[in-house]
Structure 1
């Protein structure tokens, strides 16, 4: 059985539904994330503590460590996402159908864009939506406050005026089945661990916008991110980028994704 989980970044991760000790612990983390009395510090201590069966206990005696292999596990990204959600202001508890009442076609008509563009904005986390029975319903307030992006170089010019981005944790490079490349103005990567052509480390601070290309034999996906408050995780086939950012562009068509990455000009 497979489980899908949508991260704050808008990226959906899929993994085999865990059972046994790991399944129990994941349910505990998910429940803690929804419990108002549990703080971010409490949840952080739980996820990085000795009770987490994902953590490695052999690297450092007497300690549970999140190794590069742990960071590759999508279940761990779900746990990190739960911590990140604790940083968001609490919202009133209302039923999704009471809050999310606008259909994708209605949102597209109001915004003057295609239904596909609306769905892309949902996937990227730029429009708030709830999925019920395979159908997305949007929050009319989110649609009302949404500004349609104007494509072209002007978007990067505007991004360059904002504050620069901070340090990002990352696993990039090429593996047997996939690759994950980044392109940014600093063009630097501080390496902490290397396995063949797979690198784990950090993107240093000071970046304005980053282009990412994830590729497998069957598909390519492209993202652009810019600095933002809070923590997001972008996960692709075991590779990842984690830190303060938000996704501002997503391309899911392989040919267009590769062309967008090639054309990206760092600012």
Structure 2
């Protein structure tokens, strides 16, 4: 479905890709199979968003809390990340996709850090869409790091002088617009420490569909839902009408 099919498109979509493990368990398969199935659909999603004219897509791949999961599941998630960078980034780069990874990547194996850096450098000039992968990421961590980075850049400044605009320049998503539409699959209705600052005025779309089943039809349904929303940003309807 083309961009013209939607009256209003979000500029920035963020997705919490939840339900991989449950998808597999419902089919009497290991949870790791669900993660592999979920990862397989990312390429099509990115390409679809780019075709529609959506400029930013951010995916929550691995949270700081995910380290507490069983070791084999964590290992599988790391392996899928490496595999994705190996097999898919060439095609995505050719399609004009820019890759950005946010989070504490220093906590990952050296091989994965090297591949992440190489993929970011190789795609840094692409402009069709920015695919941001949040890995070993937490929204609270992001804000704390931003404060530390601001202080490092302004060692003689008093923190009392820090403004919201200044802090935003030190978040991991600097240069990107705030989230317009945040989608969570899998039936849960919480944002789980994901882009807390950036999603302050996002429209929140929750669906019971498990991530491996979140296909193009589901994406279109979310976009149609978004198009029906009236985004007020703290204003009232009469004020919006005058803008």
Q: Same-fold call, TM > 0.5?
A: no
More helix by share: 2
Q: TM-score range by the shorter chain?
A: under 0.3
More strand by share: 1
Normalised TM-score (structure 1)? 0.24
User: Higher relative contact order at CA 8 Å, sep ≥6: structure 1 or structure 2?
Assistant: 2
